[in-house]
Amino acid sequence: MKLKTPYYLIDEKKLLKNLKIIKYIRDYCGAKSVLALKCFSTWGVFKLMKKYMDGTTASSPYEARLGYEKFGKEVHAYSVGYSKEDIKEVGKIADTVIFNSVSQLKTFYSSVRTCKVGLRINPRVSYSHFDLADPARRYSRLGVVDKNSLSKVMHLISGVMFHFNCENDDLKTFSKHLDYITEQYESILKRLEWVSLGGGLYFTKADYPVKKFCRKLKEFSDRFKLQIYLEPGESAITQSAELVTTVLDIVKNQIDIAIVDASTEAHMLDLLIYRSQAKIREAGGGKYRYMIAGRSCLAGDIFGTYRFPSKLKTGSIIRFSDAAGYTMVKKNWFNGLKMPAIVVKRLNGKIDVVRKFEYKDFMTNLS
């Protein structure tokens, strides 16, 4: 099937590799995994994912509703700040509601008391390469810092969340931080039924010591008799999708610049936010050097600079790999550029175009 670019292509076979690791972790040490919808909400593949995961975790009422309606199983909800309307909606469908502050817990507890109720704790340690994403950064608003205020509301909660990682593929650092949490919050952990260790743990990376990771989790859960939850986003979908584009033009300004029919600003926004380069598997140590740029008017709409084994030309296909996380959930209508379609390659090899976007979608997204 010939598809018109640009489009996101999700490969269920690649997705399945991650899901099997997630299932292995649950089978080995009992840790449950709920999909972080803030990272990946493409419900066209939820039928496969829910066979291996225990539910979803949401950052808003809309995400909670999507998880409830399209994924099923457990629905977890956490927000930095709930409104009265948010709580009313979330409380109807969530199994677990986690508050960011003691004040919000006290304000809304009576509305969600039939759910499992938790608090986010800021342990003031974290793993992140970016200050922008560091939950323990100076003046962080994420989670409760004061232990005294926490101890006064322990009778209202059954669990807590420690979300202190961002793309952490280093088991040694994770173990060190978990030991720190064990030491600092031992008296609190003994009184709980469950704990979420959040997301950002890259345990599906190639050669990650999964068995050692499982042993560490089991040691922690056995010590406090806790149900552990993990909230994988990237780990669930890493390396499972591509953004497929076509070269529209090649211009020269000291170096060769290939312009494709997609945009970092509109279609892979995290590249701009974190000033990182897109991944292209086909690019390596070739002799032909190109900057790959987007088609928007933004001067810095650049995917990166790469070397290719052969010359690019108008019509060449460029595939940006690892394009599932924080892409489809962040895509936007900047410059009125046509959004990439969402395409799924099923386990049986069938190509399924699950969503196309047209002018009407652009128009109705505005006033």
For position 129, what pLDDT does the model report? 87
Six-digit token string for 255: 């170096």
Question: Mean pLDDT for each consecutive 10-residue tract of the chain (367 residues)?
Answer: 94 98 98 98 98 98 98 98 97 97 98 97 93 92 95 97 94 97 96 97 96 98 97 97 98 98 98 95 88 98 96 97 97 97 98 97 94
DSSP class of 139: T
* Residue whose C-alpha is closest to residue 232's, from 196, 206, 207: 196
Find out whether 334 and 266 touch, Cβ atoms under 8 Å: yes
How, if at all, do strands 302-308 and 341-345 pair? unpaired
For position 72, what pLDDT does the model report? 95
Its CATH architecture, for the domain 12-237, is Alpha-Beta Barrel (3.20)
Paired with 261 in beta bridges are: none
How, if at all, do strands 74-79 and 55-58 pair? parallel
Q: Position of tokens 């817990």?
A: 105
Its CATH architecture, for the domain 249-313, is Beta Barrel (2.40)
CATH topology of 12-237 equal to that of 249-313? Answer: no
Tell if the pTM clears 0.85, that is, is over it: yes
Length of the chain: 367
How, if at all, do strands 7-11 and 241-253 pair? antiparallel
For position 11, what pLDDT does the model report? 98
Q: Is 144 helix (H, G, I), strand (E, B) or coil?
A: strand
CA 365 to chain centroid: 24
Question: Where are the chain's structural domains?
Answer: 12-237, 249-313
Find out whether 290 and 312 touch, Cβ atoms under 8 Å: yes
